[in-house]
Amino acid sequence: MPLFLDVSLSDVTDNLVGVFKDPALLTGIPLALLGALFMSFGAQYQHRGVAKVERILGESGAGGLSMRQLLYLLRRPSWVMGTLMLGLAVVCQLGALSVAPLIVVQPLGAISLVITTLLNAHFSGHKPTAASIRSIIAAVGGIFVFVTIAAFVATETPVTQLQLWIILGLLVVVLLALGSLWWLWIRKHSKPLFYIVASGILYGFVATLAKVIIERVKARDVDLLTIACALGLIAAMVLGAYFVQTAYSVGPPDLVIAGLTVIDPIVAVLIGLIVLQEAATAGVWALVGFGVAGAVSIYGVISLARNHPQIVFDSQQVPITRGGDDGSPQNPSSGPGSR
Residues 6+ apart with CB under 8 A from 83: 42, 46
Q: Which has more confidence, 301 or 333?
A: 301
| pLDDT tens for each residue of 180-191 | 888 887 777 667
| pLDDT tens for each residue of 50-95 | 988 888 888 777 667 788 888 888 889 989 999 999 889 888 888 8
pTM, entire model: 0.74
Write down the pLDDT at residue 24.
Answer: 60
Q: Which has more confidence, 10 or 44?
A: 44
| pLDDT tens for each residue of 214-248 | 888 888 888 889 899 999 999 999 999 888 888 88
| Alpha helices in the chain, H assignment, sequence order | 2-15, 25-57, 67-73, 77-97, 102-105, 111-124, 130-153, 161-184, 192-218, 224-250, 253-274, 284-307, 309-314
Write down the pLDDT at residue 169.
Answer: 94
Q: Which has more confidence, 322 or 136?
A: 136
Write down the pLDDT at residue 110.
Answer: 75
| pLDDT tens for each residue of 236-292 | 999 998 888 888 887 778 778 877 778 887 787 788 778 877 776 777 888 888 889
Output the average pLDDT for the chain: 77
Q: Which residues of 19-47 are buried (b: 16+ CB within 10 A; e: fewer)?
A: eeebeebeebbebbbbbbbbbbbbbbbbb
User: Which of 11-15, 20-24, 38-42, 293-297 has the weakest average pLDDT?
Assistant: 11-15
